Amino acid sequence: MILWARERPRRSQSLFRCPTVLCAVAIACTLATRALHAQTPVSRANAISAAISHGPRNAVARADSAAAGAALAFAEQFENPGLGASYTKSTPTQHYALDIPIDAPWMRRPRIGSALASLDAATNRFAFTTASLSYETDTMYTRALAVARRAELSQRNARDADSLLILASLRRDAGDASELDVQLAGVFAGQLANTASADSLDAVGALLLVQIAMGLSGATASIVLSDSLALDALDGTRTGINPTQTLLVNAAEQELRAADLAVQFERRRLLAAPTLSLGFESQNPGGPSGALPTIGLAFPIPIFNRNSASILAAQAARSRSAASLAAIRLEVDAATEQARRTLVVARARAERSARLVTGADNIAALSLLADREGASSLLNVLEAQRTSRAALAQYIDDLAAARNAAGLVRLLSQVVATKP
């Protein structure tokens, strides 16, 4: 779609007197200056890895997993015994006792089971957060590539429009075109120059967003994207996945299991475990000499507190977990199916847009040839170029949308890793 003037010497002399050309040259110089600073090529995988390593959201999820691990360690630990000493005037006068709390199995099992289920839920949430952060970074990377390609397209269109303006001026001077054609070409070139400026600014902004996601400074562009915008070989429409194996649903199920065991634990606390007391007495004048061993059991009596408040709180938490699980199942199923349908449509649009780009480029070339031969007007050339430009821009957008849809399907289809 590049346009050439008939007289190259005259074009080179008048090229830099055109304001739109000067604008395009300024844009190109700005981008070239930025490119000097963007010395570090960054692939898509490197960007995702940096975002996962330095992203604050992942740090929060990691802290939640660590807290769940600490809760499990707390549930597994045994309570420390208590040492008691007393003195009485009656013999024996000195009393020593070691009170050992008994961790009854019927209370220990649900307590540890609830903590284990909470840890599994936190682990699944952490895995989903990592996958979600990977998807968001991948989407940012794709958008940055798409915006950069649109900026390159806009710059090329601005240069082509300036060439067309010069060609119209030469034809007017030769008597083959009117002043209206020159004015029309000038307006067209000015519009494309403005579009090129805006697209260049958007490209730099999208690149800086990728840097910020990677944990780098967003003051200046310090990276360059090395991957392409082409779709991966991932189909993204695979079937046969059990919804309960996905990370979000499995995390909600583990939370419900933890709530069930918490209710069971609170109910069993009504008859709390006894305390074993081991000790001895000494200083018994007139009685047996030496230490007198003692042993006893202390049973809590549920008179003033029957643990009803804790049971109600645990039941309310279980009801909330059950409702949350039902909602997550519906949302994940609906979102997954919607993402798969979107991916199918996006792939079809990208393939169709690729064919349209070829046809639009041919139309633009033929219209330019017809204009040179006098069989077409300048208005037809401008319209053909506008159609070709819109087709290529639509193809870039459809390609980015298809890739993002594939990433969303991959995110929602993340399954729980099988334990060895």
Please report whether residue 402 resides in a domain: yes
Please report whether residue 341 resides in a domain: yes
pLDDT digits (tens, 9 = 90+) for 45-72: 899 888 888 866 777 878 888 999 999 9
Residue 81 backbone dihedrals phi, psi, to 5 degrees: -75, 160
pLDDT digits (tens, 9 = 90+) for 309-356: 999 999 999 999 999 999 999 998 888 888 889 889 988 888 888 888
Convert 168-199 to b/e letters by CB count within 10 Å (16 or more is b).
Answer: bbbbbeeeebeeebbebbbebbbebbebbbeb
pLDDT digits (tens, 9 = 90+) for 246-272: 888 999 999 999 999 999 999 988 877
CB neighbourhood size of 268 (10 A): 18
82-94 average pLDDT score: 84
Please report whether residue 80 resides in a domain: yes
As for how many domains the chain has, the answer is: 1
What CATH number did the domain enclosing 306 receive?
1.20.1600.10
- Of 11-15, 111-115, 369-373, where does mean pLDDT reach its minimum? 11-15
291-307 average pLDDT score: 84
Structure tokens at 377: 């007007």
Please report whether residue 419 resides in a domain: no
User: Which residues face 186 on adjacent strands?
Assistant: none
Whether the CB-CB separation of 118 and 254 falls below 8 Å is answered with: yes
Please report whether residue 107 resides in a domain: yes
pLDDT surpasses 80 at 392: yes
380 lies in which domain range? 8-412
Whole-number average pLDDT of the chain: 80
pTM, entire model: 0.72
What band does 16 get if pLDDT is binned at 50, 70 and 90? very low
What band does 374 get if pLDDT is binned at 50, 70 and 90? low
Q: Identify the H or E element spanning 1.
A: none
- 413 three-state secondary structure: coil
Please report whether residue 1 resides in a domain: no
Structure tokens at 315: 């039941």
Give the count of alpha carbons within 13 A of 152, CB side only: 8
Angle at alpha carbon of residue 226, lines to 351 and 236, rounded to 5°: 40
Please report whether residue 3 resides in a domain: no
d(CA 171, CA 366): 19
d(CA 145, CA 140): 9
Please report whether residue 418 resides in a domain: no
pLDDT surpasses 70 at 39: no
Residue 222 backbone dihedrals phi, psi, to 5 degrees: -120, 5
What is the number of residues in the chain?
420
CB neighbourhood size of 80 (10 A): 9
pLDDT digits (tens, 9 = 90+) for 145-204: 999 988 988 888 888 788 778 877 887 888 777 888 788 888 888 888 898 899 999 999
pLDDT surpasses 50 at 308: yes
